[in-house]
Chain A
Amino acid sequence: MMSMKPRTKHILSIALAAAVIAMLLYLDSNKAQYSYSIAILERSAIYAVVAVSMNLLTGFTGLFSLGQAGFMAIGAYTVGILTIPVEARPNVYYINGIAEPLANVNLPFWAALILGGLMAALVGGLIGIPVLRLKSDYLAIATLGFSEIIRALIAAPQLDRITNGSYGLKSIPAFSSILQVFGIAALCILIMILVINSSYGRAFKAIREDETAAEAMGINLFKHKSMSFVISCFFTGISGGLLAVFMRSIDSKTFQVNLTYDILLIVVLGGLGSITGSVLASFLMTAGREWLRFFDVPLVIGGFSVPLFRNGFRMVIFSLILMAVVLYYRKGLMGNKEFSWDGILRFFYRIAGRLRRKTPGNGGEANA
């Protein structure tokens, strides 16, 4: 078995982290030039947090929930309502005005973000009481329903003076720098990794593997399922708050079911039960959609206009790529394994081995 010395691995890990930070610092110092890349990276980092929190629930505890968009909406609106500058509020709530108690409440970004997470966790805890008694698909349908209910409530005219109803929120103060987003995302993911590696994380995995056996081992199913659900909701709320700050203007349509499906796609693509897979996939997915943009522009080769190249064609290509990935990597890019330097080493050896076998006259075809 190929493996490296622990020392080599540490050095490589530190080098990788340093490279990422250096890149971020470079991007940050040339904001104007790289604003497009910065936006993509920020969105990826935010999606990575939701994806890991969904993976904690679906990949590690075996609870298939589709409520992400709803919980993100709670986080996003909490952050939005509490951080919009007081002087900008008349402009935002220009139709109905803002509710009196909220009119002068203005919290710093980090406090609003944590509060957004807590709100989502609280709602998650309440919804969890009835919903977590369901299993598999039924749980997914019920959470999906609750997610839509949350969205409908936010857009309800009765809450106009709090959420601004269907007009949405705008003028949310932006991030100070890309490092802020990456710092918060890294911290959230680190905390979730620590949860998963703790004894409670092992109990979650036991529930995923076999509920009956887990219960016979003294694990209280409902308690541990709620724990996992609430933790997941908390970080989903946080990422919703980050998304609100990233987008700077949100409305209830931002948090439609499609958002949940995007996250689900990331989680499945990265591999159920792999944190690094989720992170990797969220960057690939978000960036991939942008890289494919040239399919949307009419292409002319030597005076001949290629017929299919038009607005929306990139989504067709994107779907084809997704299908190919799902067909060839049935368990997602990482399966249920985590990123490791040994894994990278093995991957390159495998490719090298395959290339050697394909070279004619080198044994490969001789067996046929």
Chain B
Amino acid sequence: MPDNVLHLADVTMQFGGVVAVNNLSLEVNRGEIVALIGPNGAGKTTAFNVATGVYAPTNGRVSFNGETIVSNFPQGKMKKMYAGENRGKYTDVVRKTPDVITKLGIARTFQNIRLFKNLTVFENVLIAKHMNMKAGLFLSTCMINYKEEREMRRQSTELLEIVGLAELRSEISGSLPYGQQRRLEIARALATEPSLLLLDEPAAGMNPQETNDLTSFIYQLRDDFHLTIFMIEHHMNLVMEISDRIYVLDFGKLIAAGTPSEVQNNQRVIDAYLGVAEDGE
């Protein structure tokens, strides 16, 4: 059995009467690059938000390296309204907050870039190092932990060199071009020293050249940082080239899963999302 990193079991996310994610089960194994695709509004980002603790699911369980990080079942008002499946299968409530989940080793980027826009490139990365700091407020204020601080700065500089933003370190991050902002967001996520990286549409808004660069960048990340990567993406060329496995969501439901070639030839996926290639291709 492969080494399971992230496991979503029967996750249902219901907002009022709307079921955004319906009974989604998926797993991501160590060292894999897995993609989650689907039409707009299919619930991909919601699934990400459940996995990182931003939303508590209405029903279901998420585990990371075998440890349950999020688990819930319909309660309160939802008891009556719940429209999903597997009612009663889960009876425990576990709700780790996003910061705890990040500390466990899941880092993420956002669909609409969420950098600390008024701070410099370097500060953006340095802030992500804060959570691993040992010194408390007092030691930190009196600068007694200067060795630790120096080490944090060194690691951040190193990371900026790896992602190729070293010469932009004192720029205000909000003033960077779009592609570099995306890159910085990935660098910031890496600074938390994750074992699983969730990328939410990393290629959105990029031109073909930038998309190609991104492909090699993602491979480089996986190999250099020993990462497992789980991403949402709409660029089909990128997804088909890079992914080991693909999950397809439509209206919150999983409609297909498998290797890129399996998914590409799946009739339901073609109907719902990929469409038919034009004649002559």
Contacts and interface: CB of A to CB of B under 8 A. Distances in A.
A48 to B, nearest CB: 19
A199 interface: yes
A215 B99 contact: yes
Contact of B118 (A202, A209, A213, A218): A209
A209 B102 contact: no
Interface in B208-265: none
B97 A220 contact: yes
Interface in B89-136: 97-100, 102-103, 107-108, 110, 114-119, 123, 126-133, 135
Contact of B117 (A194, A209, A214, A336): A209
B59 interface: no
Size bracket of the A interface: 20 to 34
Contacts of A336: 118
Nearest to B137: A200
Interface of A is mostly: helix
B130 to A, nearest CB: 5
A219 B130 CA distance: 8
Contacts, number: 95
Given A209-B117, A212-B114, A199 B102 contact: no
Contacts of A209: 115-119
Contact of A219 (B108, B131, B188): B131
Nearest to B54: A212
Contacts of A203: 127, 130
A213 B119 CA distance: 13
Contact of B141 (A191, A213, A214): A191
B45 interface: no
Interface in A192-225: 194-195, 198-200, 202-203, 205-206, 209-210, 212-221
Interface of A: 191, 194-195, 198-200, 202-203, 205-206, 209-210, 212-221, 227, 336
**What 5 pairs between A and B have smallest CB-CB spacing?**
A218-B131, A209-B116, A218-B102, A213-B114, A198-B140
Interface of B: 52, 54, 97-100, 102-103, 107-108, 110, 114-119, 123, 126-133, 135, 137, 140-143, 149, 152, 188, 191-192
